[in-house]
Chain A
Amino acid sequence: MRVDKDWEEGIGKKLYDFEGELSEQAWSNINQRIKPRRDKRYFWLPALLFFMTLPTALYFTDPLSWLKSENQNLSQTSPETTVVNLENGTSKTVPVQGEKPELDTYQATNETAENGMVSGIKTHEANNNAAVQSSEATAKNPLINSGNKPANNISGPGLIAATKPSGNITVMEENERSESENKAQQATERQNISARSGIQQAGALAINKPEASNANKGNRTNNASEIRNAKTVGFSTEKPGTGLAKAMLTNNPEVKNAGLQNAENGNLVQSETSREIAWLKARVPSLAGGFTAAEFPETLPDSLKKQLITALPEPENQIAGKDKNQEKPSTRKWAFAIYSAPQYTFQRVLPNQQDGISILQLENKNEFEKERLGFEFGFRAYYPVRKNLQLILGFQAARMNQYLRLHTVNTAPDSVVIKQQSNSVSMQVYNTQRQEEHLFRYYFGGIFTGMKLTLSEKLDLSGGLGLNWLLQNKTTNEKTKTPAAAFNPYLNLGLEYKQPLSQKLTLTAGPAMQYYLKPAQEKQAFIGVKPTTLGFSVGLQYKP
């Protein structure tokens, strides 16, 4: 037993420090595997962050800036928002087209009148601090203001009472139409007299000038009773001499001539209602959508309802159709987008059947690895070909990673050892087995064409065909570099969620899949890996 122990120790000592020969090749391979991946650059990361943060920043930093600029534009052509109030509280808010007011600051107020009317009035605050002739007061009792008749304003037994300031329109009920018409005749008689002080015609139109109101100045050209009797449709204008009066009398020939055919008693008497409706239509395009009878208060006289309905006959859908037709040329515009997407590569391994190497085990077949994360960024242009269909053209740059860890064996025997002993012969066959690790890194540039289908207001489905050119091919181990295919066609399918940031900018985000039609390696390579990538695309779309 002791002898056996010594024998073991003798062998142990001999073999414990047994040394083998080192090869430079071994160190080179080890060095390749342990050195930090110098080609692992993250230059794409800032680009990705940029594309992701820019829209967010635009969206959250000053969301009103777009509105402000739009308002400024709007104020040049449509200075104010007019609230048309119908008795019994019915109201409509419509934009008003007209001249740009000289004054800059607007404040919108909604006041409830004592008589139950809701008077939505936009107060036009004057620069000269001749501030607000309270439209509230007008709403409460328009008759009070009628006494403060401005020089240039018009009033008469009609439908319209205008209260200064602002271009707001207050539509009020007419109860005693016939009486108003009588008053209108009287006012017409006075028209010549009061022309100098700004009265152009009879009507229940009162435009109250704040200065006049405040100072109780101005020529009274209106009979208070006329106004009182005129259960009016009221207008207010931004300043005397502009707005309604001007529009009615000078600016718009359609308005000027409106209702002339409604001659009664043989004379060409212009109906106030017709003029007012024409004026409304001219200045308030959205009113062209018309009213239905149900929209009017029950207390509104049928005659007025009928006139309004016939004067504004176009139903909304027709208007919408018109708008669409008008907008059609504008939708037929190119839209452009830039996007960026991290992409994860799934891989299907197709071994070369003729190279005498078999894959014993694919070790990372079902693993998720950061090595397989790539990216793509690019440019897309969209052109609408049909209502919900857009043609996509674009180009892109991408990096696709493929990572393999596998165990291979030579199918042909590497060596055979035949052992002959006294009573037996044995044979051992050795096949060379190798543990291999490959990280293929492909840099592509490519083009893309496809179609985008609008599924809903916020959701698009896109698909198409792309073709990538290989720009650069890198592997971790240059000695095992495999020949890569120069062209890689792929099919693309993606969903896009759209979040409008402004009228022209839209943030898009959604998943996208790319199915490559052939392996990234050439046929003669020891292995072929057919990739399928799944990514999440974030982009910014601009539509002029």
Chain B
Amino acid sequence: MLTEPEIIEGCKKGNPACQEALYRLYGKRMKGICLRYAQTDFEADDIFQDAFVSVFKNIHTFRDGVFSGWIRRIFVNAAINNYRKNVKHYNHQNSHDLEVSDDGQTNGLDELTAQELVTLINELPEGYKLVFNLNVVEGYNHAEIGEMLGIAEATSRSQLARAKNMLKKKLEKINSCKYAS
């Protein structure tokens, strides 16, 4: 059984076995990232494959640090690139349709699985979803998000707030359905 550093070294040398090992080691987590950012499974597959190809082509540039962070960054960047390419094709909803009040409720989160949560997040408009993922899940601040997406920091903040409100609303709805049943 190869260790992670050995796998990485093997990948740097272009060893096919190590490449497959790396795919098996990180594939599922990276696929999860792609699913969170993509609109559809097909799109997630495309991002996933492009990002992994990019990882193998650029792995020689990885020197020190945490490999999981490095590879995660590549996948997130691939997702952002995909968003940039397709942003004009996404159907945006009017923001006033999505206005909800921030009532601070947090109910129902523990009862949801990660898959269900991802499904809910995927129902958010693309811009909201992207900012939400980058801020809440990946931990980037608004300045970084603004730089990555080419938007103003304030825009990032407002989009995050709206994304959270929408998500809470959805959670509320789900919880009320659960309690009703």
Contacts and interface: CB of A to CB of B under 8 A. Distances in A.
B106 A6 contact: yes
Given A34-B19, A427-B91, 5 more contacts: A11-B117, A18-B32, A20-B32, A21-B28, A34-B57
A17 B49 contact: no
B20 interface: yes
A421 B97 contact: yes
Interface in B119-149: 121, 123, 133, 136-137, 139
Given A20-B31, A22-B31, A33 B109 contact: no
A4 B115 CA distance: 21
A18 B112 CA distance: 13
B42 A22 contact: no
Contacts of A175: none
Contacts, number: 121
A215 interface: no
Contacts of A4: 104, 106, 164
Interface stretch (A63-71, A431-439, A525-533): A431-439
Contact of A34 (B31, B53, B93): B53
Nearest to B57: A34
Contact of B40 (A3, A407, A430): A430
Contacts of B24: 22
A544 B46 CA distance: 62
B45 interface: yes
Chain A, interface SS category: mixed
Contact of B97 (A6, A361, A424): A424
Interface in A402-446: 407, 409, 414-415, 419, 421, 424, 426-435
Chain B, interface SS category: helix
A27 B23 contact: yes
A6 to B, nearest CB: 7
Contact of B46 (A421, A427, A434): A434
B42 to A, nearest CB: 5
Interface of B: 14, 16, 19-20, 23-24, 27-29, 31-36, 39-40, 42-46, 48-50, 52-53, 56-57, 85-86, 89, 91, 93, 97, 104, 106, 109-110, 112, 114-115, 117-118, 121, 123, 133, 136-137, 139, 164, 167-168
B136 A12 contact: yes
Contacts of A10: 106, 109-110
A20 B136 contact: no
Given A4-B104, A26-B45, A30-B23, A12 B28 contact: no
A36 interface: yes
Nearest to B46: A435
B42 A14 contact: no
Contact of A15 (B86, B91, B137): B137
A36 B104 CA distance: 54
A242 to B, nearest CB: 79
A31 interface: yes
A18 B118 contact: yes
B114 A29 contact: no
Contacts of A432: 40, 42
Given A29-B49, A34-B57, A36-B14, A430 B39 contact: yes
